[in-house]
Amino acid sequence: MAISGRVWKYGDNIDTDAIVPARHLNISDPDQLAAHCMEDWDASFVSGVRPGDIIVAGSNFGCGSSREHAPVAIKASGISCVIAATFARIFFRNAINIGLPILECPEAAAAIEAGETVEVDLAAGTIRRVATGNVYQSTAYPPFMLDLINAGGLVEYTRRRLHAGQSDE
């Protein structure tokens, strides 16, 4: 699965309250959550994000509460992938569960700048800076994880497998 997008760059310890402020946690509609994504941290995000854009961040992205709201808001805002030096474990799991591709790569997170374009190949685990041609290696997604991401998340992936009469073996 290939992804290409313009970068939004953030630092370390971006917590779930920065991604979706707590005052909006009574919202469950993904599009309404997206309207508040990063609003207190980066006021330009909501009005400037475009479908396919990519977030690049430092260490411990998604720390704080174990809210699924955060990756849902990011995905619904149009972000196609998040690259970070490291992720909080619960954010990592929630992102995968909803079908938001994420890659850990400290080298890429440190080098990539806001506004540049990067290309991501989830199957190969590569991240390429278009302007420089520099390529960074992350862990490649195994085929079943690509299927889960392509399905839109764990629920839809499971629904499709059950409908098709398949089971994990």
Asked whether residue 162 is assigned to any structural domain, the reply reads no
Residues whose CB falls within 8 Å of the CB of residue 78, separated by 6 or more in sequence, listed in order = 34, 49, 50, 51, 52, 53
Domain harbouring 91, CATH code: 3.20.19.10
Q: State how far the alpha carbon of 74 is from the alpha carbons of 82, 99, 100, 167, in Å.
A: 9, 11, 8, 30
Overall residue count recorded for the chain in this entry: 169
Asked whether residue 149 is assigned to any structural domain, the reply reads no
State which amino acid sits at residue 93.
Answer: R
Average of per-residue pLDDT across 64-78? 92
Asked whether residue 159 is assigned to any structural domain, the reply reads no
Residues 37, 155, 103, 31, Cα dihedral to 10°? -20
Asked whether residue 165 is assigned to any structural domain, the reply reads no
**Which DSSP helix (H) or strand (E) runs through 92?**
helix 89-98
Average of per-residue pLDDT across 147-167? 86
Secondary structure letter of residue 120 according to DSSP: E
With bands split at pLDDT 50, 70 and 90, how would you rate the model's confidence at 35?
very high
Per DSSP, the three-state class of 38 is coil
Q: What is the pTM of this model?
A: 0.93
**Which is it for the CA torsion 69, 75, 77, 82, positive or negative?**
positive
Does 167 have pLDDT greater than 70?
no
Does 125 have pLDDT greater than 90?
yes
Q: State how far the alpha carbon of 78 is from the alpha carbons of 31, 93, 94, 108, 128, in Å.
A: 10, 19, 17, 21, 20
pLDDT for 58:
98
Does 69 have pLDDT greater than 90?
yes
pLDDT for 169:
53
Asked whether residue 146 is assigned to any structural domain, the reply reads no
Torsion-angle region of 36 (φ positive above 0: left; ψ -120 to 50: alpha; else: beta): alpha
pLDDT for 168:
55
Give the number of domains in the chain: 1
Average of per-residue pLDDT across 19-28? 91
Asked whether residue 164 is assigned to any structural domain, the reply reads no
Range of the domain at 10: 2-140
Is 20 buried (19+), middle (13-18) or exposed (0-12) by CB count in 10 A?
A: buried
Q: Which token pair is 122?
A: 């989830």
Q: What is the mean pLDDT of the chain?
A: 94
Provide the percentage of residues in the chain whose pLDDT is more than 70.
98
pLDDT for 66:
74
